[in-house]
Structure 1
C-alpha cells in the first residue's frame, strides 16, 4: 500500500492540471493542506528527446512530497523508458499514467482518454511502464469513467489496470465526451472503489469540506482529488480538513488575505521565470489571476484590468483597488 493511505488516512490530492499545477502552485497548495501532489502531465516523447521545456514540468522540491510525475503517451515501451529517465533525474514518489485527459491535441496523439476506447493498447501502456519501473517507485493511473455515456467502462478498465500493476487509481467521474460539463458520476466512482483492491481516489465536483466529508462517508474511495476548486480557492484543503475534524465550516478567507497569496504567487513565478521576463510571465498569469479573483468585489472591473497586466506592480495596484472595493462594501 502507498504509505499516504496507511493508518486510516484519507489523503487530499491536488489534481494535475495543465498550465496550473506548476511547481509554485503545488508549493502553495502543499502549505495549505494538500497531502499528495501530481505534476502537470508531460509527454513521454518529450522526455525521451530531452526537451528542456518538457523536462521542466517534472520539477518539484522535496517539501512537496509525496509527489508523482504524470506521463502520457501511447507506446508502452517508450513510456517505460521515459519513466525510468524521470526516476533517474529526480526520484518522484510515484509515476502516474494519464488515461483521462480529454483535450483534443492529446487524444489525437492516441493519448489520455483515447485509450479508454482501446483496452489492449491501454494494457500495453500500463504494463510497459510497470515493468520498466519495477520496484523503484509505485505506478498509478488516472482515468475517466468512459469515452462517452454509451461506453462507461471504468470498472472494467480499473480491473485491467490493477492486473497490470497499478497501485492506485484516480477516477474522474465524467466521460471524455462531457469534458468538464455536467455532473460527475460518483456512483460509478464508488463502483470502481468496491470492485478493486487498490486505493481509489475520487475526482469531480469537490468544492469544499462538506463535499469531501460526503464522499468519504457515502463511497468506498480512499481519498479525493481536488482540481478546479483549488484554482480559485487553494484554501479548500485546509477548509476540508477542518470540516472533517470538527464539523465546522471555516469563514470565508478575507479578500486581503486572498490578495496577499495572489501577490506572493506572482512574485514567486516571476522570480522563477525564464530570463526574468516579467512581462511574459505576467501575461501567462492572467488566466490564473482570473480564477483567483472569481467572486471578488468589483469582479467586472477586475477582469478588464487583469487582461492588461504586465508587471507585478500592476497586480499590486489591482489588489489595492479590489481591497478598497471590499472595504466599501461593493458587491457584484
Structure 2
C-alpha cells in the first residue's frame, strides 16, 4: 500500500512511539521542529476491545500530526485485527504499527511486544490478523528488535515473515530485548536486513546527532530513521538533521535559555490540554520530561532534585529564572 512519506526519494525522520512521552503535545512540538512522521504511544488491543472510550486517549491525534501511525500491541491476531478495525474506522490514522519490540515487562508478560520474537509463528499470526482486518484501508507496519537475546538473533527471519504476511514497512531497533537500552545498537544488522528486504526498513537506535543521520543515510540501505530518546532531550534534532542534510552545515546550537523556554512551553501546553488533570497532576506527569530536557545542564544533578518536586507552573517559572 502507498506510503507517501517515501515519495520522490524522501528520507523521512520518524518520532518513535514512547509510552508516557509521545502524547499529543509532544508530537505537536516534534512536528513543529521537523519530524516527518510520528507514532503514538502504544495501546493494548485488549484494552481497546474491553473499553474503547477509556483507551482511545492513547490514540487521539490532531490533523497537524499527520502522517501519523497508531501503535497497537497484543498477542492474539483476531483481537489485534478487531482493535485495529475500531481504531481505523474511528480515527483514520495514516497507518497501524504493530509493536513487536517493546521490552517492558508489563507488555512482555502479556506475550506482546518483544516476546513475539520468541514465537515467530505467533508473530506471523498477529501480523496476519491485523492485515486481514485493515490492510486494505491503511498500511500496516511493524517495529521489532534484533531478537530476544544475543543467543536468539532473528532479525532476517522476522523481516521475511512479516514481509510475507504483507507488512508494508519495518522499523528495526538494533538491540535485543535483553539489552533493553544498554550497549550499542547493531546498525550492521539493520543495514543487512535493509539490503535484503522488499519493503522499506527504518533504522532505530542511538541516533543522537545530525551527523549520524547523514552517516546512516549515506552508508546504509535504510529508507528512513526513527529517533526516540534523543528527541526527549532535544526535539530540535529533527530540524538540525534536516538542515544538515540539505545544506551541509549546522544550525546554531540552542542556548540553555532556549531550552528553558521550551520546557515552560511544553508544561503550559500540557496544562492547557487538560489531559493529565489539574495543575499538580500535570506537573507530576511533566517531571520526567523536565529531567530529560535538562540533561547536560550546568549543575544538572542539583537541578533534577528540584525539578522532581515541582508542583506548579509558577514554581517552574521561578526555577527557570533563578538558574
Give the TM-score range, shorter chain.
Answer: over 0.9
Question: In the TM superposition, what whole-angstrom CA distance separates every residue of 1:127-149 from its partner, at most 9, and x where no partner exists?
Answer: 00000003111100000011111
Partners of 1:263 and 1:315 within 8 A in 2: yes
Question: In the TM superposition, what whole-angstrom CA distance separates every residue of 1:148-206 from its partner, at most 9, and x where no partner exists?
Answer: 11111111100110111110000000000100000000010001101111110000010
2:92 match? 91
Deviation at residue 230 of structure 1 after TM alignment: 0.3
**More moved, 44-53 vs 176-185:** 44-53
Secondary structure at the counterpart of residue 26 of structure 2: helix
Secondary structure at the counterpart of residue 305 of structure 1: helix
Matched, 1:30 2:31: yes
Q: Aligned partners of 1:285 and 1:183: how far apart in 2?
A: 28
Q: Aligned partners of 1:142 and 1:101: how far apart in 2?
A: 9
Deviation at residue 298 of structure 1 after TM alignment: 2.5
1:311 match? 312
1:149 match? 150
1:10 match? 11
Q: Aligned partners of 1:207 and 1:97: how far apart in 2?
A: 25
Partners of 2:276 and 2:285 within 8 A in 1: no
**More moved, 225-234 vs 294-303:** 294-303
Deviation at residue 275 of structure 1 after TM alignment: 7.7
Q: Aligned partners of 1:76 and 1:274: how far apart in 2?
A: 31
Secondary structure at the counterpart of residue 150 of structure 1: coil
1:298 match? 299
2:78 match? 77
User: Normalization by structure 1: what TM-score?
Assistant: 0.95
Matched, 1:258 2:250: no
1:67 match? 68
Q: Aligned partners of 1:112 and 1:50: how far apart in 2?
A: 21
Secondary structure at the counterpart of residue 197 of structure 1: coil
Secondary structure at the counterpart of residue 93 of structure 2: coil
Partners of 2:75 and 2:126 within 8 A in 1: yes
1:196 match? 197
Runs of 4+ in 1 over 4 A off after TM superposition: none
Q: Aligned partners of 2:254 and 2:161: how far apart in 1?
A: 43
Partners of 1:159 and 1:195 within 8 A in 2: no
Aligned Cα RMSD in Å?
1.1
Q: Aligned partners of 2:227 and 2:26: how far apart in 1?
A: 13
User: Normalization by structure 2: what TM-score?
Assistant: 0.98
Return 5+ residue gaps in structure 1 as ranges.
323-332
2:139 match? 138
